[in-house]
Amino acid sequence: MKKKILALLMAGLMGFTMVACGGGSAGGNSGIEQKKAKDVEFGEKIETEDFTVDIVKDWKAEKEDEEGGGNSVNADFINDDVFASVSFLISTENVTQEEMDKEVREMMKAEGEEEPKEVEPITIDGVKLKGLEMTEEDSEFSETMKSMIYYGFAKEKPFAIIIVDGNDGKENSKIAEIWSMVDTIKFK
């Protein structure tokens, strides 16, 4: 179930791809300081043509070139009790703000019973990203899973961050580690 949602979100986003919201301030991050892990140890730094990101130790990460142009970095943490994933995607496709807003909302809605809700935007390395989130109950595993997408333009290219927190609100949630990785993004 969780894997299916992630795969569909990824396929949908890369199929037509990322996007939109205006530029940002002249640099810096906002909206994530309180969400980061207090003590976190980073492992590798992954570099793509367009950005770099530091991956938290013990997370499995891979870089991929995307069909149609662009690239992504996907990081997962999975064990018997925890499932968490984050993907950083950049595309070379031309899309408008309106197209992206509509497509992202429709894609998220197709994955759950509820309407995705807007959340506070964040700013990463000076790039402002809009946010949507959706929470889904998984009766099979009696847990709550939260999916979030933040999207905007980085150096005029569509960029998105997809977060899946399979242990939403529980002690073993890895969401703070995800925010710590998000905080390390640097655009080229």
Per-residue confidence at 137, pLDDT binned at 50, 70, 90?
A: confident
**Residue 36: what pLDDT?**
85
- For the stretch 170-183, pLDDT in tens is 778 899 999 999 99
Per-residue confidence at 116, pLDDT binned at 50, 70, 90?
A: confident
Interatomic CA distance for residues 53 and 186, integer angstroms: 7
Interatomic CA distance for residues 72 and 91, integer angstroms: 9
Interatomic CA distance for residues 87 and 93, integer angstroms: 18
> How many C-beta atoms surround the C-beta of residue 57 within 10 A?
11
- For the stretch 143-156, pLDDT in tens is 678 889 999 989 88
> Phi and psi of 88, rounded to 5°?
-115, 120
Question: Helices 2-16 and 97-111: crossing angle, nearest 10°?
Answer: 160
Per-residue confidence at 111, pLDDT binned at 50, 70, 90?
A: low
Asked whether the beta carbons of 95 and 158 are under 8 A apart, the reply is: yes
Q: Name the nearest CA neighbour of 158 among 89, 104, 99.
A: 89
Asked whether the beta carbons of 188 and 49 are under 8 A apart, the reply is: yes
Interatomic CA distance for residues 99 and 113, integer angstroms: 22
CATH for the stretch 2-187: 2.60.120.1690
